[in-house]
């Protein structure tokens, strides 16, 4: 079973925040204290939701949380922690939240309200969708919004009433912040070895 391949401390930390049903790991996404969707992870398939709900794992008081990790999927967050267990050791007040495939400003604002003292980390994929999500979170962090679209081989975005264009291969949070003048002070985490997600890295057994 895929869950058993995770490090012991990772399984113990996240066990209260998931359900295992007939070999499927289910991550409940809640909205107003109601489960509205589930992410599924099994040996041979995955399913990531598009939802207004949030999957949340936190074992510290909200005001004491110093680091908040945000991603597209609970599965990828857990695989990140499999490689970087220092974030789930005792007395390390972290929280982990998955927003689904299409994160919204409302989801992020809600998390910021719950965890007002936390530094923001992102664990989105290394592809274009993940890089755009990094930039959206950066703009939300300072109370703004940016709009993104793909035009030919370029990323076009609107921010602070200005239009910017940058080639897809050069697009990143760093470029976005330099061009827009935004300084959000968030930290991004990307897998190495040419993998787009930490889940892919975990599945191949390579960091």
H/E stretch holding 14: helix 8-14
pLDDT in tens, 76-107: 999 999 999 999 988 889 999 999 999 999 99
Give residue 163's pLDDT: 94
The residues that bridge with 55 in the sheet, in sequence order, are 98
- Measured CA to CA, the distance from residue 8 to residue 71 in angstroms comes to 22
- Measured CA to CA, the distance from residue 164 to residue 178 in angstroms comes to 11
Choose among 127, 143, 135: nearest CA to 180: 135
Least confident interval from 26-30, 75-79, 181-185, 193-197: 193-197
In this structure, the number of other CB atoms found within 10 A of the CB of residue 166 comes to 16
- Measured CA to CA, the distance from residue 176 to residue 148 in angstroms comes to 11
What tokens were used for 164?
């910017």
Mean pLDDT of the chain: 94
Across the range 37-45, mean pLDDT stands at 91
With bands split at pLDDT 50, 70 and 90, how would you rate the model's confidence at 73?
A: very high
Give residue 90's pLDDT: 83
Is it the case that residue 22 has pLDDT exceeding 80? yes
- Measured CA to CA, the distance from residue 180 to residue 106 in angstroms comes to 22
pLDDT in tens, 109-126: 999 999 999 999 999 999
Choose among 58, 52, 50, 46: nearest CA to 14: 58
Is residue 158 within 8 A of residue 147, CB to CB? The reply is: yes
DSSP string over 152-201: TTEEEEEETTEEEEEEGGG--HHHHHHHH------EE---STT-SSHHHH
Is it the case that residue 207 has pLDDT exceeding 70? no
Across the range 159-186, mean pLDDT stands at 93
């Amino acid at each position: 079973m895929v869950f058993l391949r995770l490090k012991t401390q990772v399984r113990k930390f996240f066990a209260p925040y998931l359900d295992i049903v007939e070999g499927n790991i289910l991550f409940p996404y809640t909205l107003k204290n109601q489960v509205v969707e589930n992410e599924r992870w099994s040996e041979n398939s995955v399913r990531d939701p598009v939802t207004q709900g949030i999957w949340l794992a936190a074992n510290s008081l909200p005001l004491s949380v110093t680091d908040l990790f945000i991603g597209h999927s609970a599965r990828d967050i857990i695989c990140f922690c499999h490689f970087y267990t220092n974030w789930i050791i005792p007395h390390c007040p972290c929280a982990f939240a998955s927003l689904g495939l299409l994160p919204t400003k409302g989801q992020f604002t809600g998390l910021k309200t719950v965890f007002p003292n936390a530094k923001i980390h992102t664990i989105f994929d290394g592809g274009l969708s993940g890089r755009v999500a990094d930039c959206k979170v950066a703009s939300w962090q300072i109370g703004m919004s940016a709009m993104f679209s793909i035009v030919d081989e370029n990323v076009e975005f609107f921010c602070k009433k200005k239009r910017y264009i940058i080639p897809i291969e050069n697009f990143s949070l760093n470029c976005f912040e330099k061009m827009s003048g935004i300084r959000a002070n968030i930290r991004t985490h990307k897998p190495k070895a040419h993998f787009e997600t930490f889940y892919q890295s975990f599945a191949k057994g390579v960091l």
